[in-house]
Amino acid sequence: MLSEKLMPRFCDTDVLGHINNTVLPVWFEAARTPIFKIFTPDLNPKEWKLIVAKVEVTFKGELFYGQEVEIKTAVEHIGNSSFVILQQAWQHGECCAEGKTIMVRYDFAVKQSQPLSQQERDALGTFMVAAA
């Protein structure tokens, strides 16, 4: 499981004083960078090989400004041309949000999904966790 710590910015908060719900998908995307590098090591957008098919976030508690957040990232499932990334946002030892993103191996030239290569499967497998 990957782990990345961040400090919420003041602009990440909402009028209620906690982290706005729109911020979590952005944090989760940023924390997926090591997985993106499996497919595009230099992160060159002209060589990109992935699309997002689905994003969902379940909010379990509040997150607050000025207090460190840990984003945990793992691969939950590997299919033929897609895989599921499980992510969690932790603050003060509590899981405050959980997200799942379905990513698809995609060929932009022919505009269709492609099967994951064995090398890609093996690399994704290093981040694999058992489904909850």
Compute the CA torsion angle 102, 106, 108, 111 (nearest 10 deg).
-90
CA distance 29 to 132: 21
Q: Specify if 131 maps to a domain.
A: no
Q: Confirm if 72 and 2 have CB atoms less than 8 A apart.
A: yes
Question: Roughly how many angstroms between the first and final C-alpha of the chain, as a whole number?
Answer: 14
Residue 108 has pLDDT above 90, yes or no: yes
Residue 102 has pLDDT above 60, yes or no: yes
Q: Specify if 75 maps to a domain.
A: yes
pLDDT in tens, 48-62: 999 999 999 999 999
Encoding tokens for residue 107? Answer: 């060929």
Residue 132 has pLDDT above 70, yes or no: no
Instruction: Identify the helix (H) or strand (E) that includes residue 69.
Output: strand 69-78
pLDDT of residue 16: 83
Domain of residue 89, residue span: 2-125
Q: Specify if 90 maps to a domain.
A: yes
Q: Specify if 132 maps to a domain.
A: no
- CATH number of the domain at 9, please: 3.10.129.10
Residue 131 has pLDDT above 80, yes or no: no
This prediction has a pTM of: 0.92
Count of domains observed in the chain: 1
